Chains A and B, each alone.
Chain A
Amino acid sequence: KNQVEQSPQSLIILEGKNCTLQCNYTVSPFSNLRWYKQDTGRGPVSLTIMTFSENTKSNGRYTATLDADTKQSSLHITASQLSDSASYICVGEGTGGFKTIFGAGTRLFVKA
């Protein structure tokens, strides 16, 4: 069964600190892995997208890594800001284009 599991379920950090969110997937065969940021009451916004041949992708203070052998991805947030408070969703896409599997998300709270 294709699954995307994220951890932790929620996380509280202080402003300015770094954090890393984890994603394990079993989508097979694997095509792309995306990370989305979803602010409360809004739709998800894409942060990064990686194919199976890519190991890392950065977008400002966000850096995603991918290990296709272990089927693990992580999203690292550097120097967190209050505006980083949101849900971060990992999404696996299999070949054939349209088998998209969303993780449940990690809810991040950044405190002043």
Chain B
Amino acid sequence: EAGVAQSPRYKIIEKRQSVAFWCNPISGHATLYWYQQILGQGPKLLIQFQNNGVVDDSQLPKDRFSAERLKGVDSTLKIQPAKLEDSAVYLCASSSQGSNYEQYFGPGTRLTVT
């Protein structure tokens, strides 16, 4: 079974620039999550999708972050414009049903904002 795929693996941008991350969840997984993990901290949930609908985006900085999951499969997370404090690893995860089932994480995208 293929795991959660993410790209790119690394990205370096200057502040005020835009960036987009892509995630392909495990086939058949209805729930998709985006997390932000700052160095030395645990992951923080940014947004959770159930199929192509948003379940929880309470911690998503909506003035600069946006995410979509068209057709309930792949998802993109965008930051526009980026700030220095956005430097982190962005993890995508998927699970088979709801959020009481095991989450499978991708390798993450390490973003550095200079």
Chain B interface, DSSP helix/strand/loop, else mixed: loop
- Residues 67-102 (chain B) with a chain A CB within 8 angstroms: 91, 93, 98-100, 102
**Do the beta carbons of A49 and B107 come within 8 Å of each other?**
no
Q: How far is the CB of A57 from chain B (nearest CB, A)?
A: 13
Q: Is A100 an interface residue (CB 8 A)?
A: yes
A42–B48 alpha-carbon span in the complex (Å): 20
Min C-beta distance of A41 to chain B, whole Å: 7
Find chain A residues with CB under 8 A from B44 CB.
Answer: 102
The answer, among A31, A42, A102, for a CB contact under 8 Å with B43, is A102
Measured as residues with beta carbon below 8 angstroms from the partner, the interface class of chain B is: 20 to 34
A38 to chain B minimum Cβ distance, whole angstroms, is 8
Q: How many residues on the A side are at the interface (Cβ–Cβ under 8 A)?
A: 22
| CB proximity of A10 to chain B, nearest CB, Å | 10
B56 at the interface (CB under 8 A from A): yes
Question: Which residues of A sit under 8 angstroms from B56, Cβ to Cβ?
Answer: 98-99
Is B105 a contact partner of A97 (Cβ separation < 8 A)? no
The reply on B42 being an interface residue by CB < 8 A is yes
Chain A residues in 8 Å Cβ range of B48 = 98
Contact with B along A12-50 (1 / 0, CB 8 A): 000000000000000000011010000001111110010
Nearest A-chain residue to B92, judged by Cβ: A43
Known: A31-B100, A98-B99, A102-B43. A43 touches B55 (CB 8 A): no
> Using Cβ atoms and an 8 Å threshold, which residues of chain B touch A42?
107-108
For residues 55 through 112 of chain A, which have their beta carbon under 8 Å from a beta carbon of chain B? 89, 91, 93, 97-100, 102-105
Q: Which residues of A contact B (CB under 8 A)?
A: 4, 31-32, 34, 41-46, 49, 89, 91, 93, 97-100, 102-105
